[in-house]
Amino acid sequence: MSVFPANQRSLPVLVAQFASRLTPARLTTQASAVLSRRFLFVLALVYIFAGLFFRDPWKSDDVAGLAAMMTTAYESGQTWLLPQLGQLAYAKNGPLPTWAGALSIWLFSPLFELFLPQPDATIAAARLPNLLWFGLIAYAVWYGSYLLGRRPEAQPLPLPFGGEPSPPDYGRMIADAALLLTLATAGIMWRLHETSEVPALIASQAMVFLAAARLLSRPRTGALLLGVALAATFLSRGLIGGLPVLAAVLCCAAPGLPLWPARRWTLAGLLLAAGLLTLWWWPAYQANPYWAQSWWHWNLNSFEWPSSETLNGSIWRDLPWFLWPTWPFALMALWQWRMWIRAPHIWLPLMMLLWPLITLWFLADPFEPEYSLLAIPSAALAAFALPTLRRGVVNSLDWFAVMCFSLACATTWLGWIALQTGWPSQIARNIARQTEGFNAQISWLAFTLAALGTLAWILLVRWRLLSKPAALWRGTVVYAGGIVLTWLLLATLWMPALDYARSYRPVSRQLAQAIAQHLQPDDCVRAYDLGLGQRASFLVFDQIDFSFGRQCSLVLQQTSQQNIETGSAAFSNDSARVLWVGKRGADRKGQEIFRLLRLNQP
């Protein structure tokens, strides 16, 4: 017989409840002060708009995604089910980014053509969905982290005389930090501005994260969101993007883990995702079995058993900078919350981080599109580390950001001055070697935006130095502000030079003129050894769509200057006549030489 009254809880339950309150988080009300919503909104707008418009697409994912969108928008028909790059079957990734971009081109390209020439109007229209993807990312990261942060397992230790933040205030502080850390993640900054599958994939995974957090309190809403978001991960990046997210959800719904009480609703969400995928896959297979089989073949061949090259390759070198600065704080969170590892606020982002990381070892060629699945869960985990750290550790993030980005700002401005004026001479010579043939001009609009951004950074640093805020988000504000400033300076001061170095617009125009001059009636042009990015660039800029017919007498060959000089390039004998030779102006070593050839008749 128990010695406790019937209406009293047992001692183990009381001890367990008391222990559950002894979390590693230490926080006061002042540390969870409200971050200005206006500042957060402006920072997010500058982040996504800088570098999104008024630039050329760069190879290869950026321009390949754009070419698929243009083909679908202008040719319609089966291309809505089966993405293509002109006549080339683009049997990889998934159709979701293509659908969004093609629909945007169809709706907004006529409007943009009123004040932009072709193909700039089409390029601008195709980038509008990036605003949608970024909005979904920001909403899902913030609200998902808020839902987890206000849960009882995540609350900070009660103070002896009170003064700890309320659950909503604490959750809001965690959410603000998670969003700021997402903006501060270096690796996804450029990728979120691409017309590729990466922004859609990150947004889909972020919505799965939100759905998992919502399943804890409102399972019906969470199940619906889970089904749509999980299907979107597969429709964005195929098995590479969908399988790790699916594995994370299943591990969260295992017995004794956070989603186990909502297992029936989780299963309903998985069935909904399977149904939505079938609505695309079955019509696509019926329309073109060869395309569908090629898509499946590409997905399966993307995986392989880990090898020594994979385990010791570029992953360990690339991931630390790609996930900077969130990964050290994510590791701190796992250590500080190790006794609460199965609590929802740790387990959910941990599984979202762990399974994409495991998947990297089984991929044949892992790179940034696959790394991008690590960014959101790493930022969410890092946010929960902040309340557990000592004040000095949090301040170190402030001072590192102030010094690092102030130096980056000064270096960017100094390089731009050297590019425009030739002073300092040594820096100017180094830049000239990388931008040989570039005609530097000053855009006063870009200069004004860059100057305003620099002034805003100075005011932010002054605020940090003079006010010494107690709010825990102070370090993340400074770091996110610094990386947004760096991106803004690159997107304004340096975008013309970057376009010159990476864009294929000039060489595409030269090729189009050469083809128009030499193309005969009833003839066609086929490509030889032409890369996917180069093929897509010529299609985007000048609508050059290469044929696959063997009867074409004109051939565009991609080779290198070294191969031409050594005679190892194809058609180096008397089998063809060279009609035109071109390359990008910034290609000093002749690594990409394009030759338009006319084959000699046998």
Give me the mean pLDDT over the 231-253 stretch: 97
pLDDT at 11 over 70: no
492 pLDDT above the threshold of 90? yes
Tell me what pLDDT residue 311 has. Answer: 63
Angle at 505 (CA atoms; ends 499, 507), nearest 5 degrees: 115
Share of the chain above pLDDT 90, in %: 75
For residue 15, pLDDT over 80 is answered with no
Say what the pLDDT of residue 312 is.
62
pLDDT in tens, 562-582: 998 888 888 877 788 999 999
Rounded Cα gap, residues 168 and 380, in angstroms? 17
pLDDT of residue 347: 98
The residues that bridge with 557 in the sheet, in sequence order, are 528, 595
What gap in Å lies between CA 242 and CA 226, rounded to an integer?
Answer: 12
- Residue at 159: amino acid letter: L
The answer, yes or no, to whether residue 593 has pLDDT greater than 60, is yes
Per-residue pLDDT at 21 exceeds 80? no
Please give the pLDDT value at position 12. 46
Q: Stretch 467-492: mean pLDDT, rounded?
A: 91
DSSP assignment of 436-505 equals: TT------HHHHHHHHHHHHHHHHHHHHHHHH----TTHHHHHHHHHHHHHHHHHHHTSHHHHHHHH--H
Q: What are residue 578's DSSP bridge partners?
A: 597
For 510: left if phi > 0, alpha if psi spans -120 to 50, otherwise beta; the answer is: alpha
Residue 452 pLDDT exceeds 70 = yes
**Structure confidence by residue, pLDDT tens digits, 401-442:** 899 999 999 999 999 999 999 899 999 898 888 888 888 888
Q: Which residues contact 434 (CB under 8 A, 6 or more apart)?
A: 501, 586
Number of Cβ within a 10 Å radius of residue 264: 11
pLDDT at 3 over 50: no
Examine residue 119 and say whether the peptide bond preceding it is cis (omega within 30 degrees of 0).
yes
Q: Is the pLDDT of residue 463 over 60?
A: yes
pLDDT at position 14 is 36
Q: What integer is the mean pLDDT of 97-119? A: 95
pLDDT of residue 1: 35
The residues, ordered by sequence, that sit 6+ positions from 392 with a Cβ below 8 Å of its Cβ are none
Can you tell me the mean pLDDT for 550-563?
Answer: 92
Q: How confident is the model at residue 601 (pLDDT cuts 50, 70, 90)?
A: confident
Q: Is the pLDDT of residue 499 over 70?
A: yes
Q: How far apart are CA 260 and CA 342, in angstroms?
A: 12
Q: Count CB neighbours of 197 within 10 A.
A: 29
Is the predicted pLDDT of residue 4 greater than 50, yes or no? no
Strands 554-559 and 525-528: parallel
The predicted pLDDT at position 310 comes to: 65
Say yes or no to pLDDT of 392 above 80. Answer: no
- Span of 104-113, 342-351, 571-580 with lowest mean pLDDT: 571-580
Q: pTM score, two decimals?
A: 0.94
Mean pLDDT along residues 61-72: 96
In angstroms, the CA 348 to CA 344 distance is 6
What pLDDT, on the 0 to 100 scale, is given for residue 549? Answer: 87
Highest mean pLDDT among 1-10, 87-96, 467-476, 562-571: 87-96
In whole angstroms, give the CA distance from residue 333 to residue 352.
15
When pLDDT is averaged across residues 392-396 and rounded to a whole number, the result is 78
pLDDT value of residue 293 = 94
What confidence tens digit (pLDDT) does each residue in 502-553 have? Answer: 899 999 999 999 999 999 888 999 999 999 999 999 999 999 999 998 889 9
The pLDDT assigned to 571 comes to 87
What pLDDT is attached to residue 602?
60
What's the order of all strands across the beta sheet hosting 576-582? 525-528, 554-559, 593-599, 576-582
Tell me: pLDDT of 163 over 90.
no
pLDDT at 504: 94
pLDDT for res 465: 86
| Average pLDDT score, the chain | 91
Portion of the chain with pLDDT greater than 70, in percent:
95
469 or 88, greater pLDDT: 88
Closest among 387, 377, 339, 341 to 357, alpha carbons compared: 377
Task: Examine the pLDDT at 306 and tell me if it is beyond 50.
Answer: yes
Selection from 156, 147, 122, 146 nearest residue 24 by Cα: 156
Number of H helices, E strands in the chain: 26, 6
Query: Which pLDDT value is given to residue 315?
Result: 84
394 or 255, which is more confident?
Answer: 255
Helix (H, G, I), strand (E, B) or coil at 49: helix
At residue 484, the pLDDT reads 96
Cβ-count burial of 54 within 10 angstroms (0-12 exposed, 13-18 middle, 19+ buried)?
middle
C-alpha closest to that of 552 among 577, 534, 527: 527
